[in-house]
Amino acid sequence: MSVSAHRYTVLDVFTDVPLEGNPVAVFDDGTDLSDELMQRTARELNLSETVFLLAPSGRANARARIFTPSLELPFAGHPVLGTAFLIGQRSGSDSVTLETGAGPVPVALRWDGDRVVYGEMEQPIPSAEPFSPAEGLLAALGLSSSGLPIEGYRNGPLHVYVELADEAAVAALEPDMGALAALDGAFGVSCFAGAGDGRRFKTRMFGPSVGVPEDPATGSAAGPLALHLARHGRIDYGREIEIRQGAEIGRPSLLRARVDGRPGHVERVVVGGGAVAVAQGEYRLR
């Protein structure tokens, strides 16, 4: 049996406070790892996502393969942002582009002295689609209705949105995870409510069908949420919103999102936040 040591770093993302936000493990070099071994490693770590870096095929800084404990994703927000922080901090750059399964994702980085403190990624523009098992979804969430239409947005993974009456209702949710996982397809459902000022929103994201019962901070869902709100007239295009997530599972997170463009023509979807490295080491893999 041959055993090799692979260096990795854990970062907490969408926070600047260790042990908050959403943790991601980033392996410096996954070149000699099979798909199966990457997936088993992600299952072993049991974080929302684990990233393996490889040489890019184009002009990106690196290719990023992203795994949940149960499957590979073409794109995910907090893994991309955390990886960009890591690469930027090491290289001294104020911009990083990652090659993902959903295409290249550029990330602009802001520095404070010798430390990267904020990153803003330009996400793949999501496409909206109807979500047919809406009644089953509401039943699994213990809800009778949604304030806005229940729709899905795909920017790699599929995210479905359900609007509740207020932040207290979001906090009180106790979904039936088995019933959610039994619905057709792999998706995450973001349950959200506004704070009343049109700028701040509270969300919780449940994704048992992708191996993540509840996610502390879902960057890939933040951009589509801003688009969902803009499409239905809840916010203006070009307005940045604040999204708070993760408090119910002890991982408070802050995300910012903005959709540039106009009705029927989206120019950019931008999501930003902080990150902080909290651990590093080596994993022995064969």
CATH of residue 144's domain is 3.10.310.10
As to burial, measured by CB atoms within 10 angstroms (0-12 exposed, 13-18 middle, 19+ buried), residue 53 is buried
**What domain range is 96 assigned to?**
4-122+274-285
Q: Are residues 70 and 113 in the same domain?
A: yes
Residues 101 and 174 in one domain: no
191 lies in the same domain as 132 = yes
Predicted TM-score of the model (pTM): 0.95
Note whether 133 and 267 are same-domain residues. yes
Does residue 174 share a domain with residue 69?
no
Reference 83, options 157, 31, 9; nearest CA is: 9
- Same domain, yes or no, for 55 and 176? no
Instruction: Check whether residue 251 and residue 138 sit in a common domain.
Output: yes
Q: Which one of 20, 36, 49, 167 is the catalytic residue?
A: 49
How far apart, in whole angstroms, are the C-alpha atoms of residue 224 and residue 64? 21
In the block, residue with structure tokens 């184009």: 58
User: At 242, which amino acid appears?
Assistant: E
Note down pLDDT in tens along the chain; length 286 residues: 456 899 999 999 999 999 999 999 999 999 999 999 999 999 999 999 999 999 999 899 999 999 999 999 999 999 999 999 999 999 999 999 999 999 999 999 999 999 999 999 999 999 999 999 999 999 999 999 999 999 999 999 999 999 999 999 999 999 999 999 999 888 999 999 999 898 999 999 999 999 899 999 999 999 999 999 999 999 999 999 999 999 999 999 999 999 999 999 999 999 999 999 999 999 998 7
Chain length of the chain: 286
* Annotated catalytic residue 120: no
**What letter does residue 125 receive in the DSSP assignment?**
P
Cα-based distances in Å from 226 to 60, 150, 223, 235, 268: 27, 14, 5, 8, 11
- At 1 the pLDDT is 47
Domain match, 200 and 98 both: no
CA–CA dist 238, 118 (Å, integer): 19
Q: Which of 189, 199, 192 has its CA nearest to residue 167?
A: 192
Task: Based on the fold, state whether residues 44 and 9 are members of the same structural domain.
Answer: yes
**Residue 141 sits in the same domain as residue 257:** yes
**Buried (b) or exposed (e) across 171-202, using 16+ Cβ within 10 A?**
eebebeeeebbebeebbbbbbbbbeeeeeebb
Same domain as 138, residue 79 = no
Number of domains in the chain: 2
My answer on whether 133 and 28 are in the same domain is no
Measure the CA–CA gap between 78 and 139, rounded to whole angstroms: 29
